[in-house]
Amino acid sequence: MAQKEFAGQMVDVNEEGYFTNPQQWNKEIAAAVAKEEGLELSDKHYAIIEFLRNRFNSGEALSIRSINKSGIVDVKEFYALFPGAPLKKSTKIAGIPKPSSCI
């Protein structure tokens, strides 16, 4: 398994750079991953990341619709905060697996 250093710590990642062990995540690591993606994390980013992690930990599927219903941001803001491929980017920064949902 590949390892990568973020914020001075080694974490296990897969070939696409997603964490394989979400326990190895913390906020400093998130900031380092975000930097690599070209993002500076704001409180809004962290609120979404926390939402994603909570949802992942409770075993719920992640979809763009669930973000819209989260009450944290609407979809438009979500795309603006994580430009490009928002759900992929945000889950990578959140240290959880890439979403397997099609919606």
Q: Which residues are catalytic?
A: 102
Start-to-end Cα distance in the chain: 29
Measured from the CB of residue 75, what is the shortest distance to other proteins in angstroms? 4
Q: Which residue number, 24 or 66, has a Cβ lying nearer to other proteins?
A: 66
Radius of gyration of the chain (CA): 13
Residues within the interface to other proteins (CB under 8 A): 16, 61, 63-66, 68, 74-76, 79, 83-88, 101-103
Pick the closer one to other proteins by CB: 2 or 103: 103
In order, the DSSP letters of 44-77 are: HHHHHHHHHHHHHHTTPPP-HHHHHTSSS--HHH
Q: Which is nearer to other proteins, 29 or 87 (CB)?
A: 87
Beta carbon of residue 11, minimum distance to other proteins (angstroms, whole number): 21
Contact 12, 21 (CB under 8 A): yes
